[in-house]
Chains A and B, each alone.
Chain A
Amino acid sequence: MTPLARRRLRNFRANRRGVWSLWLFLALFGLSLCAELIANDRPLLVRFDGHFYFPVVADYEETNFGGDLPIDADYRDPSLAQRIDARGFMIWPPIPFADDTINYNLPSPAPSPPDRVNWLGTDDQGRDVLARLIYGFRISVLFGLTLTIVSSIIGVAAGAIQGYYGGLVDISFQRFMEIWSGLPVLYLLIILSSIIAPNFWWLLAIMLLFSWMSLVDLVRAEFLRARNFDYVRAARALGVGDATIIWRHVLPNATVATLTFMPFILNGSITTLTSLDFLGFGLPPGSPSLGELLAQGKANLQAPWLGLTAFAVLAVMLSLLIFIGEAVRDAFDPRKVR
């Protein structure tokens, strides 16, 4: 590791809040990635008639467990559960609900308040809030990460080309961006969602059309500065091609600015998805999402656990990312002494 990298790591570690936030966030994200093992309406393991079954990874039919019909086994069905318990056992995940499992066995009409079965209560369709939270967190972060990474790649490439070549390329690209950024994103989404049913990938593509611009100016400025550096001139005098110069000599200068910005872009992406879901233009109905939970909280003010839960999770997640971003900024700050 170069001394510079070591110094940066030290600066990052010096920001204790950022380090804790990073570990906490990674732990939460890691847990949510195994959501199927934590919250599911299928048992992790079934032993029946001396055989082991793994319903989480494979589909089984009722007939496998002594039923009469060749339909998918519903493990929450009391009669099936009884049969299995008689001739074996089931091991359930800690939360025996998936994000779309409707609990018909509620003590009070949905949305029902937190109790020992539904730890954070249920939403207005009787689905477990905690289960939906775990799945919703996962989809938010995955969406944010994908959007951030792809739009950063596009943004850096666009900025690099504009800054490096300058002149006419730069001017026309800049004017194009001004017009492009003037397009009303929200209207476009509303129109599109009336034509197609927006899913994860559609939303990603549409958001990508507009979110790649956030890094362009930053990278462009770095490239405008660096393209006249002597070592870039020297590389051109050596006969090095433009692509290599951009990649090897100039881009490393721009990475610091880019990396410093990334956590904040991630934050922005997550918020964007949440707000779209809140407005009902986001993921298709029924999919777990933080924005949808917020909307439910607003619609059901008599059930404060909905709104409070969504708020708390969003607040914690966004704060963690901001703290991580601060630590990253510290790490790359050349003027920081301690």
Chain B
Amino acid sequence: MMALLAVETLTVSFASGDTRVDAVRGVSFDLEKGETLALVGESGSGKSVTALSILQLLPYPTASHSTTSSIRFDGRELVRAGNAILRDIRGNRIAIVFQEPMTSLNPLHTIEKQVAETLHLHKGLSGSAARARVIELLQLVGLAEAESRLNAYPHQLSGGQRQRVMIAMALANEPDILIADEPTTALDVTIQAQILKLLKDLQARFGMALLLITHDLTIVRKMADRVLVMTEGEIVERGATADIFAAPQHPYTKKLLAAEPKGTPQAHEPRPKALVETRDIRVWFPIKTGLFRRTAGYVKAVDGVDLTLREGETLGVVGESGSGKTTLGLALLRLIDSRGEIVFDGRRLDALSGQTLRPLRREMQVVFQDPYSSLSPRLSIAQIVEEGLKVHQLGGNAKERRRAIERMLQEVGLDPAAADRYPHEFSGGQRQRVALARALVLRPRFLLLDEPTSALDMSVQAQMVELLRELQARHGIAYLFISHDLRVVRALAHDIMVMKDGKVVESGPAASIFAAPQSAYTRALMAAAFEIETAAPEATAQ
């Protein structure tokens, strides 16, 4: 019998100037009705490009397919198919959900209008019939108070709600295939679990085939019947999910499976003395209304947080987006205004101002989440790392500084010969190492790590965690490690603080929190992260 979707020797190449890049090289796979196929790979492996070529959504003619490429859907050839055929299939028979719910909805239209658009295009529905169907769909995807939200604009919805609207749009015409391109990557862990469960339920209900594109192996294990592992544009391994997780054959798959951050931090006995302490720290942003901008209320981003960070240890700050953990970190470094006591090594930081604070900046450094935006694009690596040394007049003359920079680059695992290259020539993981080098070259005692691993691929994440642990052991730096990923936190933190809505929900030694979480919120976070209970595990799909 013929598969619903048959992709054969698909090749995609991108031309840019005189160079051609082959993003996908001869990929073949089938997708049967009702099954879930996961396409797994790290960034740049060509998995999204493969998905987009199914609907012919790539920027042609910059992108092109080889003549041997073939994508047959329900007996019809899609490669180089005419616009009329493609329009009939897009959003109707094959629908797609994208990664970023913040940008995949049009901010200027209500959600009713956006969901109704596909209904109007493919089913000719309009008016009250369309409205009824939109409400039905929104209820189906579990959007609370669907009826009253019809006139909401995307900015009035949270990330998870937007993703539900996106799914409602995709499901509007009951497609045969749903392509989900990293559908949960941009969402918080607890929301992630809900969305995945929703996808699973809907799939069972409509008998859709689901092509799930992801880099997250936990999701694959939860969801997929079959797995395709992609790297550098080729499929290196394929098989049933259980088989692949039990006995991976290809070295790349093995590497991917082994890439989870492991180990626990080195314990100190007795516990060292406190380096950073805060008492009742608050960051309130005023909400101003009316003609005279009177302060009507406050957004309490951080609301009365006490924390203790000990010398040479790691305090993990855990919470979902909007919980105020990054704001807390910035307030500790005095990069934003705050109230409450901040004591660093016996000195009150909150009493110091710009000039008097500057000498102390050397001892407290920061590494940000996004390695693509945290390095000046117009400075070379050496210049970036050198800047701090120059400001604090450290490292002697130019030649000695250069030696210090090269030593530092080597220490974070970069080739010192690359010092004169620019950030855009490096991968995400390498850039994060540069950011680390910039912070560490000043020999700080306190390092704020704001989600330093979450923008990185799995295997790179694990290396980064190793490196951080090693550096802490060698130099005795105290880390304030902000993350939403409990797996990484477990590998690094001595103490843990769980935050929600600007308040501390739970805090204490890592071991005891992981062993016996007290609050319901912490338990939910753990469940989502460690996959203890999820969507009912379906033993066999066949």
- Chain A residues with CB under 8 Å of chain B are 2, 229-231, 233-241, 244, 248-249, 252, 337-338
User: Which B residue sits closest to A250, measured CB to CB?
Assistant: B376
A134 to B: closest C-beta gap in Å: 41
How far apart are the CA atoms of A186 and B335 in the complex, in Å?
A: 47
- Chain B residues with CB under 8 Å of chain A are 16-17, 62, 330, 333, 335, 357-359, 361-362, 364-366, 368-370, 373-376, 378-379, 387-388, 391-392, 422, 435, 438-439, 442
Contact B370 A230 (CB under 8 A): yes
CB pairs A–B below 8 angstroms (19 shown)? A230-B373, A230-B374, A231-B373, A231-B374, A231-B375, A231-B376, A233-B335, A234-B366, A234-B368, A234-B435, A238-B391, A238-B442, A239-B358, A239-B362, A239-B388, A239-B392, A240-B391, A248-B379, A249-B379
A260 to B: closest C-beta gap in Å: 17
Contact A337 B333 (CB under 8 A): no
A231 to B: closest C-beta gap in Å: 5
Residues in A neighbouring B422, C-beta threshold 8 A: 2
Most buried by B among A2, A231, A238: A238
Q: Pick from A2, A233, A338: contact of B368, CB below 8 A.
A: A233
Residues in B neighbouring A235, C-beta threshold 8 A: 376, 387
- Extra contacts, 4 of them, besides A252-B376, A252-B378, A338-B17 (Cβ < 8 A), are A230-B370, A230-B374, A233-B368, A237-B335
User: Which B residue sits closest to A238, measured CB to CB?
Assistant: B388
Residues in B neighbouring A230, C-beta threshold 8 A: 368-370, 373-374
Residues in A neighbouring B388, C-beta threshold 8 A: 238-240
Contact A249 B376 (CB under 8 A): yes
Residues in B neighbouring A236, C-beta threshold 8 A: 335
Residues in A neighbouring B387, C-beta threshold 8 A: 235, 238, 240, 248
Contact A237 B442 (CB under 8 A): no
Closest 8 CB pairs of A and B: A239-B361, A230-B374, A230-B368, A238-B388, A252-B378, A239-B358, A237-B366, A230-B373
User: Which A residue sits closest to B359, measured CB to CB?
Assistant: A239
Residues in B neighbouring A234, C-beta threshold 8 A: 366, 368, 374, 435, 438-439
How far apart are the CA atoms of A167 and B373 in the complex, in Å?
A: 24
Residues in A neighbouring B368, C-beta threshold 8 A: 230, 233-234
How far apart are the CA atoms of A253 and B58 in the complex, in Å?
A: 30
User: Which B residue sits closest to A252, measured CB to CB?
Assistant: B378
B99 to A: closest C-beta gap in Å: 21
B358 to A: closest C-beta gap in Å: 5
How far apart are the CA atoms of A182 and B357 in the complex, in Å?
A: 43
A227 to B: closest C-beta gap in Å: 12
Contact A229 B373 (CB under 8 A): yes
Residues in B neighbouring A238, C-beta threshold 8 A: 361, 365, 387-388, 391, 438, 442
